[in-house]
Structure 1
Amino acid sequence: MKVEIRADDSVHIEGYVNVCERESRPVATPYGKVNEVIAEGTFQRAVDSADEVGLMVDHERLIGSTKTGLELSEDAIGLRAELDTSDEEVVEAAKAGKIKGWSFGFRKAVDSLEQRAEKLPLRRITELVLDEVSLIINKNPCYSATSVEVRADGDIDVEQRAYVETTVEVTDRTTTTAYDDGSVYTRKVHNENVVEETSGVIDYTEFDNRLAALRRV
């Protein structure tokens, strides 16, 4: 997870909510305790079919959605989220390094269960309805944000799954400098310490092609 604290007291956060095709640690499900795999493509279909996916803190407080700046997409690794927020609790947690990871809430899972001799059963999910993703700040992601709620009639209300980030990179600011020779230098700083430096060359090809096209008109 990358967390960038902006000068306007907002934060930019990006990272993976969950990884596809990777067996989870034991989680609570309608089948009891199992290991779980989210099949490749499941998240993208869920995002594409959802009218709106909420952005929450600890599954308790709504602070945004895919209609207000939350970007969700599935790539070769898994479900990726990117957002900007000025929510006071999130900003303060980011400054203190207290954002623990992500979680997501879903329902109507289409799945199959594989019984295994010396391991927990393996649940494979191929379809789901994605209701929300959460930034985990105050809860313990391993337990509080991994649950299943079942109504008295046996129907599933919502399941929640946590993804704990092993590395959280926090930067106070990013400075990019472009030079006349076309080179560009980027520096990321946290607590006045440089955490990343990159350099490269600006590619003006697309700009030059458009300019040439305009001159021909």
Structure 2
Amino acid sequence: MAVCLIGLPSSASALKLLDEQGNVLSDVVILVDGVAPKPAAPAVMDQIDMQFQPRVLAVGTGSRVDFPNSDDVRHHVYSFSAAKRFELRLFKGTDAPPVAFEQPGLVVLGCNIHDSMVGYILITDSPWYDVSDAQGQLDASQLPGGNLPVSWWHPSLGEAAPVSLGELDLHLTAQLTLPVASTPVAVEKPLSPLQQRFRKAAEQHAY
């Protein structure tokens, strides 16, 4: 994969992420190793306008994530991903308990009621991580100077592991162009509990 970077003669406060067509890339997770852990912040995956907000959330291994529901309707959040299987049944407001994510990996979220809702939580052992915003930017100013191991993940990669960029000095990098596929890799949406029961019944009757 070819990666293009544009450097600055002095430290950059924001890193901008683009695809190969020059479009800004939101929802890119940047992971950096070999540094002190970033300060812990509350991890929240809200539900707003029948969508997960943020669409992509990155957390450290062992983090607890709150799942408030800011919609006027109930949601039934679930995941059957190997990194974390769980259900939050029919809840509104802040009724749902936080969920602990104890092992690294990708968790794909769905809603048993609203099929269009898909979200992603990337759980990582990397000490520093951030997700690009709607303008394709993230703040790298807290990182120390010097070359550090950097990798990235985006929903276009599907369930593939984060991709290494080698060692980069993000303090001196203003822009990164990433080879994000124009047609994203399909990620199978997790089956709802009802679909799981139908599949299990069908498999039992097949023998």
**TM (normalized to structure 1)?**
0.21
Query: RCO greater where, 1 or 2, for CA within 8 Å and sep 6 or more?
Result: 2
Q: TM-score normalised to the size of structure 2?
A: 0.22
